[in-house]
Structure 1
Amino acid sequence: MSSEYRRKKPQIRRPNVDRSQGFGGHYEAQPKPASEPTKSEPKAAPEAQASQEPKTTEVPKAETPQAAATASDEKPAQEPQAKAPTPQPRQKPAAESPSPAAPSNVSRTRTRRQAKNKEPAPMKKVALTAYPKEDHRAALEAVQSEAVSIMDMVKLAGRRALAQFEPKAEFEAAPNVERMGSTHRYTTTKQVSQPVLEKLHESMNPLGLKSDNEMLRGQFEPLFWSELDAIIADVKKRKTK
């Protein structure tokens, strides 16, 4: 295709307009007034100067023994004052101390408390019997009266003997004497320690044929006889008055 038929770029022209001056017309730029330094600039100036200045590194000085000694001497002066000592409990004066005899009293009370705190031994209810001796018959019949019978004296002797009776683990055989009949027999019961009864049976009743009453009769009956003798003598005195 020939250059004649090429489309030409349109040119737009306006009258009285110089295209070399631009679209806004020709104007001269006015000089700008010098800007005043802001408040931040004076502060930044020393920092800039400091950054420009060469930094000098300080070499730490070696501590000498004298300097360390002075430093150690200066530390106690900087420390805070020591706290006041805490008040200690007031000690009792020597006059209030227990007397030398006090430990013995304390030991006694301790032993008593320990004895009370111990568990009681198991008890067993045991029947006890006692017969007046045949030798008592004549004396009993002599002092008896309508106010005081033989059985009254037998019962009183049995109660006094029971109040004094303390069973022991040592066996005592009943005396071999002639006794009055069962009509004058005294019968009662007592709580006896079971370990005491076991020891008595082990020593004198290995076959288990004897009763608890037989194990204790040798201890209780003589006590009953002595009380009966005292009652007979007392009633005889009253009768003679």
Structure 2
Amino acid sequence: MAKIAARGSRVYIEIAGVPTLLPALKDWALNTTRGTIDVSSMESDWKEFLVGQAVADGSCNVFYDPDDPVAEVLEDGIWEGTPIKFYYYPQGVGSGKKVYSFTAMVTGWNFSGATEDAVGSAVTFQGTGPVSRTVQGKFASLTTSMAGDNNDITLVAKAAGAAGNDIKIKLVDSAAASTSMSISVTNKVISVNLGTDATSDIVTTAAGLVIALNANPDASALVTASLKAGETGDGVVTALAETALTGGE
């Protein structure tokens, strides 16, 4: 009998149409029940039932972070009454693994603290409508092929499916002197203005780019960045025209 370590499981919530990881997760629960309709008659020694309606509810406990935009969505759920779409990955994220998705109303949002403990936030919710049980599809990805050595990166969409093919990245050479690298995201297009030195030459390395992408909240909500397999990341990247991730289904 196979056993699954819970530490690999993940919970995502949908933000602007994109499933986004709920960080600092401590534990989670998803409960489903189905009602029955009693149609027993007096002349029978045995009770009889018809199948009733199903319902889901659950909870998740996280470490409280007032600056986390994902946790903010959960807080808005209780204050504003906004329905939230949840994605539960009990086996973790990966092609062929199960995912349970559903829309729910937040029914409780509480945070607490104690001596020798971090402040925590406890969320409970009531599902509205069905729970969808599916198998995760393939994740869209992109591995660059830039001129030079040890300067390529790989991007993998955070969520499986064809929607990952809408994610694009472009690396822009400003041709200006002494600029710092900056990242912005608009309509799933990740734009990176590369850093330059006093002579306007690009100085951003693949390793530095990977760190910056994973540290940017908007970019990291869409993709996970890593160095191309077998490369050190010490090489300086080049400009890259807007390029889409592919292979998501």
Q: Which has the larger radius of gyration?
A: 1
Q: TM-score, normalised by structure 2?
A: 0.18
Higher strand share: 2
Structure whose residues are more often helix by fraction: 1
* Greater length-normalized contact order (CA 8 Å, ≥ 6 residues apart): 1
